[in-house]
């Protein structure tokens, strides 16, 4: 039997939790696993590694945060006569959607500086950024990423809490 549009809408909460969990889990791994490990290898290795990490994580993270955000907000708008749960889902979805402008406005300028300098070095030029500035940029990025990690964990936690109460909710449209 082919799924109907209504049956798909009835599972937006689960979709949001899965995508939000992937986003939050990946962000947490980068924050507590990758960044400290790369720091242990030294500044130059961390600097050279950054573009590869970014390239691989960026695509999946934009997909996960978009799915978690849109499906979380849509699920919230379908909840009737339970304003607390409705607002919880809308807030959790909005947290994930907020990751997109936060990343573009706050993190992308730092990302570009690091990536462009690495491209310049790979093409045979000398790095235009001194060691002190490299350390500052990587530390700045780590702090900005930590904000994203904490936000995604809050959004994911709210979604898990909301999902644990989903059977008592009445859905509309």
Each domain of the chain, given as residue ranges in start order, spans: 11-166
- Cβ 96 vs Cβ 23: under 8 Å: yes
The one-digit pLDDT tens for each residue of the chain (173 residues) are 456 666 777 889 999 999 999 999 999 999 999 999 999 999 999 999 999 999 999 999 999 999 999 999 999 999 888 899 999 999 999 999 999 999 999 999 999 999 999 999 999 999 999 999 999 999 999 999 999 999 999 999 999 999 988 665 566 55
Q: What is the pLDDT of residues 98-113, one digit of tens each?
A: 999 999 999 999 999 9
- Cβ 148 vs Cβ 103: under 8 Å: yes
* SS3 per residue for the chain: CCCCHHHHHCCHHHHHHHHHHHHHHHHHHHHHHHHHHHHHHCHHHHHHHHHHHHHHHHHHHHHHHHHHHHHHHHHHHHEECCHHHHHHHHHHHHHHHHHHHHHHHHHHHHHHHHHHHHHHHHCCCCCCCCHHHHHHHHHHHHHHHHHHHHHHHHHHHHHHHHHHCHHHCEECC
Q: What is the pTM of this model?
A: 0.90
Q: What is the pLDDT of residues 11-45, one digit of tens each?
A: 899 999 999 999 999 999 999 999 999 999 999 99
């Amino acid at each position: 039997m082919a799924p109907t549009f209504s049956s798909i809408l009835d599972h937006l909460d689960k979709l949001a939790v899965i995508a939000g969990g992937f986003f939050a889990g990946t962000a947490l791994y980068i924050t507590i696993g990758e960044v400290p490990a790369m720091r242990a290898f030294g500044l130059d290795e961390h600097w050279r590694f950054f573009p590869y990490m970014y390239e691989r994580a960026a695509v999946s993270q934009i997909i996960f945060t978009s799915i978690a955000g849109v499906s979380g907000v849509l699920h919230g708008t379908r909840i009737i006569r339970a304003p607390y749960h409705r607002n919880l889902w809308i807030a959790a979805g909005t947290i994930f959607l907020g990751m997109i402008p936060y990343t573009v406005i706050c993190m992308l300028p730092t990302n570009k500086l690091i990536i462009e300098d690495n491209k310049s070095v790979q093409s045979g030029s000398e790095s235009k950024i001194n060691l002190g500035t490299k350390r500052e940029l990587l530390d700045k990025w780590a702090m900005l990423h930590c904000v994203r990690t904490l936000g995604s964990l809050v959004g994911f936690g709210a979604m898990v809490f909301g999902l644990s109460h989903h059977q008592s909710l009445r859905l509309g449209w």
